[in-house]
Amino acid sequence: MEKLIATINKLQDVFDKIGDRSDVIELPEIVVVGSQSAGKSSVMEGIVGKDFLPRGTGVVTRQPLLIRLIRTPLNDPNRKKGLENIDWATFQHTGDKVFTNFQEVRKEIQDETDRGSGKNKGISEKKISLNIYSDKVVNLSLTDLPGITKNPVGDQPKDIEAQIKKMIKTYIENPKSLILAVTPANTDFATSESLSLAREFDPSGERTICVLTKLDIMDRGTNATAVLTGSLIPVKLGIIGVVNRSQADIDATEPKSIQECIADEENYLKKNYPNLADENGIPYLAKTLSEVSMLALF
């Protein structure tokens, strides 16, 4: 099965290069959907285990970002000289250039976004394709889309919300795509933009996974047990709660590493959701997404 995923990654590279999104061959795709402040970036970085996504105010992801995680054991013969013991990344648009510094990966995403979408915070349908090779990831392909925003800022077009939703719909209307609906635990689920869009195109919830972010900042005296056990949100592929890295963790003089935050998340889940701890958290989410994407091939 691992080899099958690797073959599909190569096929996706070919289709991206020739610009073919036809239905001749439909490959399963996990589409990440959420509002601007839902915590999508923290979830993605947690899954990858790296700080690599641009951050800031307003709509930061302004083009579809296809991230392929390719598990590459340290003894893998595909590791080239100089890459025997480290993780690396490549972009489709930079050819054979290899990135070993993930701060440079972040800068390249930002630079390519500015080239494709301009610097005025507008969006573009042009996809950025990024491959990440590591012995610590699961084989997985994720497409991160711009976060849904209500109010345009700066030079953004007045219909920025409609533009973003239109882009999201072109991805999730494909019946073979999987929807990763990212929703904060401290908001009203009835008004969740990601769940609303998921319900529109997947009313039975057969291909939707809900990620419940920010579990640790729910109102005092409340918890997410009813949601995490599936009592409130009808999705068939699961509801997984995570604890996001806080902005204070990121901005600290000595920022907390993603690995430290995942350890904190594990402790939080064991303390507050002891009966559900093993089926929540970033590591469980990554494992579940990999398994679900493989099953979707058949």
In the block, tokens 């500015």 appear at 114
Residues 6+ apart with CB under 8 A from 207: 175, 177, 178, 179, 236, 237, 296
- The residue assigned the tokens 């190569």 is 10
Closest-CA residue to 149 (of 131, 138, 161, 158): 161
pLDDT at 27 over 60: no
Helices 2-18 + 282-295 axis angle, to 10 = 80
| pLDDT tens per residue, range 177-207 | 999 999 999 888 888 899 999 999 999 999 9
Backbone angles phi, psi at 181, to 5 degrees: -90, 110
Angstrom distance (rounded) from CA 66 to CA 31: 9
Q: How far apart are CA 277 and CA 264, in angstroms?
A: 12
Q: Report which listed range, 34-48, 72-86, 264-278, is most confident.
A: 264-278
Predicted confidence band at 214 (pLDDT cuts at 50, 70, 90)? very high
> Identity (one letter) of the amino acid at 30?
I
Residue 233's pLDDT band, with cuts at 50, 70 and 90, is confident
CB 209 within 8 A of CB 31: no
Q: What is the CATH number of domain 2-11+29-295?
A: 3.40.50.300
Q: What is the pLDDT of residues 96-141, one digit of tens each?
A: 899 999 999 999 999 998 887 777 667 888 999 999 999 999 888 9
Longest Cα pair distance anywhere in the chain, in angstroms? 55
Euclidean distance between CA atoms 40 and 144, whole angstroms: 8
Task: Give Cα 44 to chain centroid, integer Å.
Answer: 4
Domain boundaries, the chain: 2-11+29-295
> 48 with 69: CB under 8 angstroms?
yes
Close Cβ partners of 21 (under 8 Å, ≥ 6 residues apart): 15
CA distance 97 to 86: 16
Between CA 121 and CA 147 the distance in angstroms is: 12
